[in-house]
């Protein structure tokens, strides 16, 4: 263990958030309610999105990006943008934005954007893999997306609760196994475990927090953990680090075409 001033016991104590558990952003909760309510539709989603300028602007950016606008026909209205992108995709983008603006990560906006762009990218690939393996199970696709979106939430937990300089140290720019080794040496706890702990406190279903806890373990038998491991490695290898969120659908579609994922480890 590095002489960092942190140790496993004190890190775990801080990660209990005993006195000040950060709440899930209000907009995040409202979007999940709309998604899960069979009575609600695109209008309800539009109402939540419209109440926030940054999210509205992002939905319009997506609708006008190459992936959704191959004929270069610009759209300036939210309702038309949602119709073009589709309700499910719109909800995914809005969910990502709700976390990006609703959680205070102790770092600059460029790091915050790339953190959530990576999360959205991994979520998109997770959902894609879940669809390939279990085409008819829509609930599984949604859980795969949510697992991908939250897979690195432990980095946010470490930054918000344990070390305000987390994103400014080497840990802010590392990935994969070197990051896990650094965190274990420096904090005594890695971000997968920290994320699992936070999602448990937030009362997420156990298949999601288990998958987040195991997303750096290639041998985990758990399906969501396996697709998250693959999706994370895929994005680290094939999606350039500073790709903007709105450019990800086209970038990922191209990367998946150029480097098809081996599904044999997911179906074994
Ligand atoms: Fe990770
Ligand atoms: Fe990651």
3-state SS of the chain is: CCCCCCCHHHHHHHCCCCCCCCCCCHHHHHHHHHHHCCCCCHHHHHHHHHCCHHHHHHHHHHHCCCCCCCCCCCCCCHHHHHHHHCHHHHHHHHHHHHHHHHCCCCCCHHHHHHHHHHHHHHHHHHHHHHHHHCCCCHHHHHHHHHHHHHCCHHHHHHHHHHCCCCCCCHHHCCCHHHHHHHHHHHHCCCHHHHHHHHHHHCCCCHHHHHHHHCCCCCCCCCHHHHHHHHHHHHHHHHCCCCCCHHHHHHHHHHHHHHCCCCCHHHHC
pLDDT, position 266: 86
Mean pLDDT of 90-95: 97
- Say which ligand is closest to the CA of 154: 1
Query: Has residue 25 got a pLDDT over 90?
Result: yes
- On the 0-12 / 13-18 / 19+ scale of CB atoms within 10 A, 238 is middle
Expressed in angstroms and rounded, the spacing between residue 144 Cα and the centre of ligand 2 is 14
Query: Residue range 181-189: average pLDDT?
Result: 97
Neighbours of ion ligand 2 (CB under 5 A): 152, 232
Say how many Å lie between the CA of residue 227 and the centre of ligand 1: 13
Mean pLDDT of 135-148: 96
CATH 1.20.1300.10 fits 107-268, yes or no: no
Neighbours of ion ligand 1 (CB under 5 A): 152
The answer on pLDDT for 56 being more than 70 is yes
Under the banding of pLDDT at 50, 70 and 90, the label for residue 150 is very high
Contact of 193 with 153, CB cutoff 8 Å = no
For the cut 90, the answer to whether the pLDDT of residue 267 exceeds it is: no
Q: Is the pLDDT of residue 1 over 80?
A: no
Q: Among candidates 147, 54, 163, which has minimal Cα distance to 109? A: 54
Distance 40 CA to ligand 2 centre (A): 32
Ligand closest to Cα of 192 equals 1
Average pLDDT over residues 50-61: 96
216 Cα–ligand 1 center, Å: 6
Report the pLDDT averaged over residues 112-122: 97
What pLDDT was estimated at residue 55?
Answer: 97
Where along the chain do the CATH 1.10.3210.10 domains lie? 107-268
Q: Cα separation of 86 and 63, whole Å? A: 10
What's the pLDDT at 268? 67
Which ligand has the shortest distance to the CA of 191? Answer: 1
Ligand 2 centroid, distance to 167 Cα (angstroms): 14
Ligand 2 mean position to 39 CA, how many Å?
Answer: 35
- pLDDT beyond 80 at 75: yes
Q: In this structure, which ligand is nearest to the CA of 119?
A: 2
């Amino acid at each position: 263990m590095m002489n960092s001033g942190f140790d496993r016991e004190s890190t775990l104590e801080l990660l209990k958030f005993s006195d000040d558990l950060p709440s899930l952003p209000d907009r995040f909760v409202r979007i999940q309610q709309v998604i899960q309510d069979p009575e609600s539709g695109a209008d309800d989603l539009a109402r939540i999105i419209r109440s926030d300028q940054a999210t509205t602007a992002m939905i319009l950016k997506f609708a006008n990006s190459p992936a959704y606008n191959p004929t270069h026909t610009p759209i300036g209205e939210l309702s038309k943008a949602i119709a073009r992108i589709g309700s499910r995709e719109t909800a995914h983008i809005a969910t990502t934005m709700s976390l990006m603006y609703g959680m205070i990560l102790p770092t600059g906006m460029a790091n915050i954007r790339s953190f959530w762009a990576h999360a959205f990218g991994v979520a998109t690939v997770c959902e894609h893999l879940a669809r390939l393996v279990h085409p008819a199970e829509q609930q599984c696709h949604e859980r795969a997306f949510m697992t991908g979106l939250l897979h690195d939430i432990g980095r946010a937990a470490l930054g918000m609760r344990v070390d305000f300089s987390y994103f400014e140290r080497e840990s802010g720019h590392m990935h994969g196994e070197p990051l896990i080794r650094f965190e274990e040496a420096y904090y005594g706890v890695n971000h997968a475990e920290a994320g699992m702990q936070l999602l448990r406190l937030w009362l997420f279903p156990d298949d999601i927090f288990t998958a987040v806890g195991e997303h750096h373990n290639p041998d985990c038998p758990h399906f969501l953990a396996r697709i998250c491991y693959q999706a994370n490695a895929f994005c680290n290898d094939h999606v350039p680090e500073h790709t903007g969120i709105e450019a990800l659908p086209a970038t990922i579609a191209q990367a998946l075409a150029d480097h098809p994922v081996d599904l044999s480890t997911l179906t074994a």
